[in-house]
């Protein structure tokens, strides 16, 4: 699942293309993935695209449109000047599909040509729209395709600000918010007896942290992920508090993490994985001490850490 840095890169890419543009049509092919009446947003203009935790929030004229990519969600926007056929296979199968073309020359592709974000799985390597395309939103300047292999993601219409608050009000503060203070963080950790890895994954504590950046933040602070949250002393808490924004900002600078086939909003790979200290580095030497990185399970979730440094 994309975490805060990945969703934020997608938000920025989509906002650059869709803010100020009007929804012309909505084609829902998998009703359970679209919550609300599609006709309600036809004619609505996109005023802003924001993000709360891992959810994209489209502010329309009279509604909010929430999008959660979950495990395998993917968004592809093709501008009006181009067509989906620009990326499809030709009849003689000589032309590469969109995913194959992205793999071949992603460095040459420009964001102003199209926007893609999420998980271009190999299963998506088909003509658009394809069997995994479940929602198509037509704008006055192009078409947005929502693909989802496992159908865990969703798009939801919310009619009011009060409704929006109900949808996202349970999330904890963003790492950039004034509410994410040291006193707040220390209090939240002190009242929890779960492991630090579990606490960091709790979206009511800090919004947007998932497996990747929980592991990386704990390594940055040199704290064992199995340690209980209420056992941290003030020095350790301060280290972890400082490391969360440090890790997030570094991840944003590198366009997020490309695990498997995840891509940024311009279709290129996020490069954070190349500089990650522990995540997906099981058995490889620690960048600091040389000890092999270990992978364990904590409450059913994978966790990577250095047994010596942490």
DSSP string, 7-70: HHHHHHHHHHHHTT-BEEEEEESSGGGEES-GGGGTT-BEEEEEEETTEEEEEESS-EEEEE-T
31 catalytic residue (yes or no): no
Catalytic, out of 3, 6, 8, 216:
3
pTM for the whole structure: 0.80
What pLDDT, on a 0 to 100 scale, did the predictor assign at position 98?
44
What pLDDT, on a 0 to 100 scale, did the predictor assign at position 302?
94
Rounded Cα distance between 73 and 67, Å, is 10
User: In 3D, which of 188, 197, 291, 201 has the Cα closest to residue 3?
Assistant: 201
What pLDDT, on a 0 to 100 scale, did the predictor assign at position 264?
45
> Alpha carbon 124 to chain centroid distance?
18
In whole angstroms, how far apart are CA 309 and each of 48, 97, 223?
43, 45, 8
Each domain of the chain, given as residue ranges in start order, spans 4-168, 182-305
What class is the 182-305 domain? mainly alpha
150 catalytic residue (yes or no): no
User: In 3D, which of 28, 56, 241, 263 has the Cα closest to residue 164?
Assistant: 56
- The two tokens of residue 125 are 């390597």
Instruction: Assign domain 4-168 to its CATH superfamily.
Output: MutM-like, N-terminal (3.20.190.10)
6 catalytic residue (yes or no): no
301 catalytic residue (yes or no): yes
State the DSSP H helix or E strand holding residue 202, giving kind and residue range, or none if neither: none
Cβ atoms of residues 67 and 2 within 8 Å: no
Helix, strand, or coil here: 84? helix
What pLDDT, on a 0 to 100 scale, did the predictor assign at position 8?
87
User: What are the pLDDT tens digits along the chain (310 aa)?
Assistant: 577 888 888 898 899 999 999 999 999 999 999 999 999 999 999 999 999 999 999 999 999 999 999 988 889 898 887 655 544 433 334 444 444 444 443 334 333 446 667 665 677 777 789 999 999 999 999 999 999 999 999 999 999 999 999 999 999 999 999 999 999 999 999 999 999 999 999 999 999 998 999 999 999 999 999 999 999 999 999 999 999 999 999 988 876 544 343 444 444 444 567 889 999 899 999 999 999 999 999 999 999 999 999 9
Catalytic, out of 103, 227, 239, 301:
301
Catalytic, out of 11, 52, 54, 197:
54
């Amino acid at each position: 699942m994309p975490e805060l840095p990945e969703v934020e890169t997608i938000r920025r890419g989509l906002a650059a293309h869709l803010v100020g543009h009007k929804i012309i049509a909505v084609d829902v092919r998998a009703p359970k993935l679209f919550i609300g009446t599609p006709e309600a947003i036809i004619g609505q203009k996109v005023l802003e695209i924001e993000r709360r935790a891992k959810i994209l929030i489209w502010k329309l004229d009279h509604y909010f449109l929430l999008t959660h990519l979950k495990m395998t969600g993917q968004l592809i926007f093709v501008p009006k000047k181009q067509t989906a056929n620009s990326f499809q296979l030709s009849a003689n199968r000589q032309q590469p599909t969109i995913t194959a073309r992205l793999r071949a020359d992603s460095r040459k592709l420009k964001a102003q040509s199209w926007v893609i974000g999420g998980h271009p799985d190999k299963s998506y390597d088909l003509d658009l729209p394809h069997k995994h395309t479940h929602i198509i939103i037509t704008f006055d300047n192009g078409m947005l395709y929502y693909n989802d292999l496992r159908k865990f993601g969703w798009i939801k219409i919310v009619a009011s600000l009060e409704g929006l608050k109900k949808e996202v009000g349970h999330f904890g503060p963003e790492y950039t918010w004034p509410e994410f203070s040291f006193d707040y963080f220390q209090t939240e950790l002190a009242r929890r007896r779960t492991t630090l890895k579990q606490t960091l994954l709790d979206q009511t504590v800090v919004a947007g942290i998932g497996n990747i950046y929980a592991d990386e933040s704990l390594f940055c602070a040199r704290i064992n992920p199995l340690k209980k949250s209420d056992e941290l002393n003030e020095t350790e808490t301060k280290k972890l508090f400082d490391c969360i924004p440090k890790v997030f900002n570094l991840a944003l600078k590198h366009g997020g993490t490309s695990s498997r086939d995840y891509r940024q909003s311009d279709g290129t790979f996020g490069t954070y994985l190349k500089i990650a200290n522990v995540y997906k580095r099981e058995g490889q030497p620690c960048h600091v001490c040389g000890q092999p990185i270990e992978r364990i399970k904590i409450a059913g979730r994978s966790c990577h850490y250095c047994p010596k440094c942490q």
